[in-house]
């Protein structure tokens, strides 16, 4: 049974064909990142327009790479939320039109659940019970997975998502958008102990996260310690988007950062961000007597996160699973797998399906 997955929740237009909910036959992702880069983040209006332009060619390409026809598709799984509503609508309307015209069953996939099913798309088996850490540009959540289809939220960010913090720090460091993968690479040559950025633990036993203070701490460090003398207090003139210099979070005056300091700042920021993710995830596993942890979402592609989580987990006998990087970031194979599982649990959507910018798992 072939499932066509469609994903348009943010700035990637994606379609995939998955056989029997587990075997990925094609996984096509058209990134719009070049269009958003000069704005330093996703511009929702541009994202919707680009999805409209890409969606049909991307679906055609997914069918062609899987060497099947639309007539062979038995299920359409589409991301219906959470995400940018204008972006989601392009996928949802396309899926509904195809389902109606070809009389194909339709299922609404949840984007966060999709990230967790990235593991399935990678050929791995979702373990139960387990704890899942979903870390992306829009989410930082910890879930307990007692059994298939059941998700208990254990903690989430109270402000910025960790991927958002990566991207904003990337902007402050003058790196190209998205900052996450660039900081990951840059940090490898830096000293993670160079700058003692605050670890945002909130209260000691809380499983919630907070990344906005860490992001601001990086900005103040640059302003006070890196800015040339006399420029420390003049941080309010906008620079024009992507640049080798630094706009403040929000906006601000450019501050050039010497190359030798860049890697240390990146590594120190990353260490602070990741230490908290690892600590809280393993605390959640311990509290719930769970011996398997799943990493999902774009930030799960981060090398230091995978390394530290695996090493620290080993010490407590916990196993860590994550998909390969291409299945951590947004894609439609994970949506097809999650949608198929929902369908098998008896979930179907009708033509009244709408996009939901917020859809708690
Ligand atoms: O899951 P995703 O593709 O989209 C959302 O659902 O948000 O995640 C994108 C986020 C971006 O913030 C990006 O900077 C971050 O994931 N990211 C990374 C890495 N690769 C992607 N962050 C840190 N290290 C990486 N290697
Ligand atoms: Zn995502």
Write out pLDDT tens, residues 43-90. Answer: 999 999 999 999 999 999 999 999 999 999 999 999 999 999 999 999
For ligand 2, the distance from its centroid to the CA atom of residue 255, given in whole angstroms, is: 31
Return the pLDDT at 230: 58
Write out pLDDT tens, residues 124-170. Answer: 999 999 999 999 999 999 999 999 999 999 999 999 999 999 999 99
Write out pLDDT tens, residues 5-54. Answer: 999 999 999 999 999 999 999 999 999 999 998 888 899 999 999 999 99
CB 78 within 8 A of CB 336: no
Cα separation, 149 vs 63, in Å, equals 28
Q: How many CB atoms lie within 10 A of CB 201?
A: 15
State percent of the chain over pLDDT 70.
Answer: 92
Q: How many CB atoms lie within 10 A of CB 129?
A: 16
CB 8 within 8 A of CB 16: no
252 band by pLDDT with thresholds 50, 70 and 90: very low
Nearest CA to ligand 1 atom 24: 302
CA nearest to 349, candidates 56, 95, 46: 95
CA nearest to 78, candidates 322, 323, 343: 343
Domains of the chain as residue ranges with CATH = 2-119+327-344 (3.30.420.40), 125-322 (3.30.420.40)
Cα separation, 250 vs 238, in Å, equals 9
Q: Is 166 in the pocket of ligand 1 (CB under 6 A)?
A: yes
Cα separation, 357 vs 1, in Å, equals 30
Mean pLDDT score of the chain:
92
Q: Please report the DSSP string for 152-172 in residue order.
A: EEEEEBSS--HHHHHHHHHHH
Q: Please report the DSSP string for 61-85 in residue order.
A: HHHHHHT--GGGEEEEEEEEESS-H
Q: Is 329 in the pocket of ligand 1 (CB under 6 A)?
A: yes
Locate tokens 């990146």: which residue? 266
Ligand nearest to the CA of 114: 2
For ligand 2, the distance from its centroid to the CA atom of residue 224, given in whole angstroms, is: 34
Q: Is 339 in the pocket of ligand 1 (CB under 6 A)?
A: no
- What atom in ligand 1 is closest to the CA of residue 163? 12
Write out pLDDT tens, residues 157-197. Answer: 999 999 999 999 999 999 999 999 999 999 999 999 999 99
CB 57 within 8 A of CB 51: no
Q: Is the pLDDT of residue 245 over 50?
A: no
Q: What is the mean pLDDT of residues 99-106?
A: 98
Q: Per this entry, what is the length of the chain?
A: 361
Q: Is 167 in the pocket of ligand 1 (CB under 6 A)?
A: yes
Return the pLDDT at 253: 45
Residue 23: both structure tokens together: 């075997």
118 band by pLDDT with thresholds 50, 70 and 90: very high
pTM reported for the whole predicted model? 0.93
* Higher per-residue pLDDT: 95 or 252: 95
Paired with 102 in beta bridges are none
Residue 322, classed as helix, strand or coil, is: coil
- What atom in ligand 1 is closest to the CA of residue 184? 24
Q: How many CB atoms lie within 10 A of CB 100?
A: 12
């Amino acid at each position: 049974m072939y499932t066509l997955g469609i994903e348009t929740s943010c700035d990637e237009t994606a379609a995939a064909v998955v056989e029997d909910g587990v075997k990925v036959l094609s996984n096509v992702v058209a990134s719009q990142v070049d269009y958003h880069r000069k704005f330093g983040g996703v511009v929702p209006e541009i994202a919707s327009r680009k999805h409209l332009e890409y969606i049909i060619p991307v679906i055609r390409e997914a069918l062609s790479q899987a060497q099947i026809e639309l007539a062979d598709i038995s299920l359409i799984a589409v991301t219906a939320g959470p995400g940018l509503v204008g972006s989601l609508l392009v996928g949802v309307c396309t899926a509904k039109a195809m389902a109606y015209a070809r009389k194909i069953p339709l299922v609404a996939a949840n984007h966060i659940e999709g990230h967790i099913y990235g593991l399935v798309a990678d050929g791995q088996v979702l373990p139960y019970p387990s704890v899942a850490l979903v870390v992306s540009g829009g989410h930082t959540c910890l879930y307990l997975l007692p059994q298939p289809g059941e998700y208990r939220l254990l903690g989430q960010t109270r402000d910025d998502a960790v991927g958002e913090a990566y991207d904003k720090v990337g902007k402050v460091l003058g790196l190209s958008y998205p900052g996450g993968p660039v900081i990951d690479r840059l940090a490898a040559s830096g000293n993670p102990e160079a700058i003692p950025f605050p670890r945002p633990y909130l209260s000691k036993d809380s499983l919630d996260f907070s990344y906005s203070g860490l992001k601001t701490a990086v900005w103040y460090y640059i302003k006070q310690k890196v800015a040339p003398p006399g420029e420390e207090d003049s941080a309010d003139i906008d620079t024009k988007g992507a640049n080798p210099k630094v706009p403040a979070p929000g906006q601000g005056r450019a501050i050039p950062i010497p190359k030798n300091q860049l890697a240390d700042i990146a590594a120190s920021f990353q260490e602070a961000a990741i230490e908290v993710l690892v600590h809280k995830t393993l605390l959640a596993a311990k509290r719930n007597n769970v011996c398997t942890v799943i990493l999902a979402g774009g930030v799960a592609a981060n090398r230091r996160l995978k390394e530290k989580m695996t090493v620290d987990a080993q010490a407590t006998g916990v196993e860590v699973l994550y998909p390969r990087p291409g299945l951590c970031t947004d894609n439609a194979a994970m949506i097809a797998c999650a949608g198929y599982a929902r369908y098998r649990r008896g979930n179907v959507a009708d033509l009244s399906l709408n996009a939901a910018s917020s859809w708690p798992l």
